[in-house]
Amino acid sequence: MCMSFLVVSVVFICCCRSHGVTAANKPIQTFVIPHSHMDVGWVYTIQESMHAYAANVYTSVTEELSKAEDRRFIAVEQEFFRLWWDTAATDSHKRKVRQLVKEGRLEFIIGGQVMHDEAVTDLDDEILQMTEGHGFLYETFGVRPQFSWHVDPFGASATTPVLFALAGFDAHLISRIDYDLKDTMQKNKKLQFVWRGSPSLKEKQQIFTHVMDQFSYCTPSYVPFSNSSGFYWNGVALFPDPPKDGVYPNMSVPVTKETVHAYAKTMVENIKQRAAWFRTNHVLWPWGCDKQFYNSSVQFNNMDPLMKYINQNSKDFGVTVQYATLGEYFQAIHQSDLVWELRGSEDFLPYSTEPHQAWTGFYASRNVLKGVARRASAQLHAAETLFTRYRISFPDGPVAKDWALDKLRALRWAVSEVQHHDGITGTESPKVADMYLQHLLQAMMGVEELLAALFLLPHNLDVPSVHQALEQHVIVYNPLAWNTTTIINFTVTFPTAAVFDDDGQPVPAQIQRSAQSNATYDLFIVVELGGLQQRKYLIKFSEKECSGTLKCGWTYEAKGVLFERLNVRDWLKTGRRLLPVLNQCYKLMFDQDTNLLHSITYLRVRMTQDFWEYHANGDVKAGPISDNYIFSANGSAVRAYEAVAMEIIPGKIVTEIRQLFFREEGDQDYAFSITTRVPECFGSRLPCHRLEQTYSLGPLRLNTEVVLRTSSSLENNKTLYTDDNGYQMMKRTHRKFANNTVARNYFPMVRTAYIEDELSRLVLVSDRAHGVSSQADGQLEVMLHRRLWNNLAWNLGYNLTLNDSSVVRPTLWMMLGSVSATAGLYQREAIELQHRPVVMPIDQPREFVLPPNLHLLSLSIPGWNYSSNHSVHLSNDMRSEPDYDRVLLRIMHLFEEGEDPELSKPVTINLKDVLRGIGEVKVLEERSLTGTRDITSLQRWNCGGDAFTVTISPKEIRTFFVHFASRNF
């Protein structure tokens, strides 16, 4: 497979310098970049890694760099560094680090909390984890990362160069792309290019990109004269404890007079091999790999004489070597008088390492973790906006600001941490997955305490206390900057309820027996909320039916209708008895011969939905296997059930269809289910265009991968569209391969996927990441759950076989309509699914509403205390008390250029007017994406009225610091 390049020339730099000497007359200039790849999770927990080796990395590197001025090191995964800095570093270490950073010999790369995954992470969370890391680095050292080192994420997203450019990065480095594409790019010297990530932003946010060659981020571990670990003289990290004598397994043969020439010959040969794949005479030679440099003295004391020997014989070798940071390498490329090819808004997904090793399984691995991570992110967003509004309105209020910020920071840390490329991907061991879940759930509980504290505040609100079991007061908060009318759902224990708003007026509601338990009931309430606004509701319960003196307001008691359970083997004739379920947008027809969905009336689209499963091979001797990472289909998918039951509950607010799928005909318990909620419309207030579906799957049989298959009459030619990180949609054309065609046509779906033909578009939006594909015309299948075991020694040794026996309950919203109609819907629907109303109590502020094509990406109090003026910040003492008054605001334009005739237009708003509902804006500063740079002074290498009035163009993300006038109450 070879992806074509756009034949457009773009200059990587703004100011090129000419050089009189050609590269052919120069020795190869080699930049030896010492680094240690330290996964924030994966096989071992963070605590285990810190104890076994990670703390030693920064301690020993700091000491060794201080001994020789030519030594260098790059620090990438910030979580380990921050833990070391706060818990292990001595005052002497801290002084040395500050000096090394000042001299540029210790360089922070990426600067985020982790090296985040690019396939299944959401835009919000990528920005969060970078902002957390950048704030720490700038507050502590006054430095702002300029380069990326994304060497290990499993594929590369076109969103990443956009975000990194917005953050002020000058160059970007990736590694994992399809093996056959990388081979072609190597042969044609096309591993370096200018990447234009967004078709709407074009040259505004393009970035120079370097793809690692076939050796990736690791130094070759093999040397012909030794069976040990090549250039890793400190050997292999030892768990659970580092050896007291400093002798690690597999330590390499030392560099001596007898071995130096053999080492030099091996190193030079590898350098020359790499040099043949690039256009300049500069070679990036990464020195390091996973869990390296925990004994840096051994490393440098062997590499120093080796490099000296090569440089002393550089004429014979044709190579010079020097320690370097990534910035020094890119600076050399920056000064080359070359024109670079442009790569358009293509990504590098999916990723394969061999014909049978498509890394598309992790799109669906550990569904529970993916769901909790997304819920935690949504809770954080809601809590950030609420606390920000509270601080502006009640700066001296009773909620302790330091306590509140600690709660928020704990959840920021947990959400950032799980974005690691062996975290949310589901490619970690079970104990590490448990660690991520524990950190997320503990931090979420802390934020719930914060929300409860805000609820209990004496804000002069007349909020009655709940002292009767038959009454419950709730406040529902809309965390979005849009007006919304929607349905919220409570699980209650009473069969009857009446709902009233804060004016005592009855509110439309519906109650019915729960699908989860015969002892509980689902209560649906129609709520209308302004942007960042909340309303109070009173629910009155009763064990009696509504009659006589018991008034139920506008609550409808819905009753279900059960249909006969049907066996698949009896489906001789279908489509004879169709049962309609209607609302003002759709007419759904359910087939009483199968209990499956038959069609949806939008130009009469035929459609079925059910569960299928791929059977995975678990024996490496029998063929390719599937694991945490890899999906290798062992044949076509087969139907995952043999019988279907159905219940329909007609309602006045929502009609619910419950379909239960039984694995075997005689099973008493169902294996899978689909619950479809069809909302009724209340005038034009409640949207009826989305069908809300929740699924239940598990425990699965071993070595099965279960998909929800939606088959329709759309003629999409097996082409689908999926989102890159919730930012932009990518066209995915089905391709045939000699091997593994099914798995290599799976793609990540973070928020959205759709198929379309000339007349119609079928859209799914999701509450968590999944794998998605179109394996047949009109078909859209979503992999929801996987349970696998295999006997590959590597997987068994690291416990990476994914024997996931959990029950998962993901949610998808489905929309069907014309291309033009759905274009204006799915972006907002995806965000509304992620940021559903929060049931919680709080003050009653005025609403804050943005235009329909803009999204409030962030409204928070970061707490970092640094001057907005870079020079002033560097002259002040760093890491002082948190700043509780500076508000971080991000606004994003949701639509692509030309996607919608109206919604794709640039939007001009006056932020002082827009924010008036929150407070009086005194100062507005535009910043880089993570806030550490003043946008007016931001100068990047590939540069492409009213102070409060801003224009936001399609797909732009604008970031501001806002200072509000103080209020006295």
| Pairwise CA distance, residues 573 & 580, whole Å | 19
- Say what the pLDDT of residue 946 is: 61
- Say what the pLDDT of residue 846 is: 62
Buried b (16+ CB within 10 A) or exposed e, 291-301: bbbbbbebbbe
| Pairwise CA distance, residues 31 & 947, whole Å | 45
- Residue among 811, 719, 726 nearest 761 (CA): 719
Token reading at 661: 């799928």
DSSP assignments along 133-182, one per residue: HHHHHHHHH-----B--B-SSSSB-THHHHHHHHTT-SEEEE----HHHH
Pairing of strands 471-477, 106-108: unpaired
- Local structure of residue 348 (DSSP, 8 states): B
- Say what the pLDDT of residue 550 is: 44
Task: Please list the ranges in the chain whose pLDDT falls under 50.
Answer: 1-22, 458-468, 548-550, 841-843, 943-944, 968-969
Question: ∠ CA 299-301-306 to the nearest 5 degrees?
Answer: 95
- Local structure of residue 902 (DSSP, 8 states): T
Q: Enumerate residues 6+ apart whose C-beta is below 8 A from 260.
A: 305, 306, 309
- Name the active-site residue from 39, 122, 124, 152: 152
Residue with tokens 């890491």: 879
- Say what the pLDDT of residue 917 is: 84
- Residue among 753, 761, 759 nearest 813 (CA): 753
- Long-range contacts of the stretch 143-147 (C-beta < 8 A, 24+): 143/101, 143/108, 144/111, 144/168, 144/932, 144/933, 145/108, 145/109, 145/110, 145/111, 145/169, 146/170, 146/171, 146/327, 147/109, 147/110, 147/171, 147/172, 147/173, 147/326, 147/327, 147/330
Query: Starting from the edge strand earliest in sequence, which strands make up the sheet with 28-34, in order?
Result: 282-287, 28-34, 319-323
Amino acid, single-letter form, for residue 446: G
As a whole number of Å, the end-to-end CA separation of the chain is 66
Residue with tokens 């404890």: 241
Q: Does 610 participate in catalysis according to the annotation? A: no
Measured between alpha carbons, how far is residue 740 from residues 347, 625, 633, 716, 951 in Å?
A: 20, 11, 7, 22, 47
Residue ranges of domains in the chain, CATH in brackets: 28-348 (3.20.110.10), 472-543 (2.60.40.1180)
- Local structure of residue 105 (DSSP, 8 states): S
Strand partners, 771: 748, 783
- What is the widest separation between alpha-carbon atoms in the chain? 103
- Say what the pLDDT of residue 874 is: 79
- Residue among 897, 754, 853 nearest 199 (CA): 897
| Pairwise CA distance, residues 633 & 612, whole Å | 13
Pairing of strands 28-34, 282-287: parallel
Amino acid, single-letter form, for residue 383: A
Entry pTM:
0.93
Token reading at 903: 């919604």
| Pairwise CA distance, residues 485 & 531, whole Å | 11
* Structure confidence by residue, pLDDT tens digits, 911-935: 999 998 889 999 999 999 999 999 8
Q: Enumerate residues 6+ apart whose C-beta is below 8 A from 98.
A: 141
Helix-then-strand count for the chain, H and E: 20, 45
- Residues 392/393/398/403 CA torsion (nearest 10 deg): -20
- Say what the pLDDT of residue 847 is: 72
* Structure confidence by residue, pLDDT tens digits, 451-464: 888 766 544 333 33
Residues in the chain: 969
- Local structure of residue 50 (DSSP, 8 states): I
Token reading at 686: 């409640």
Pairing of strands 854-860, 886-893: antiparallel
Strand partners, 907: 952
Amino acid, single-letter form, for residue 581: V
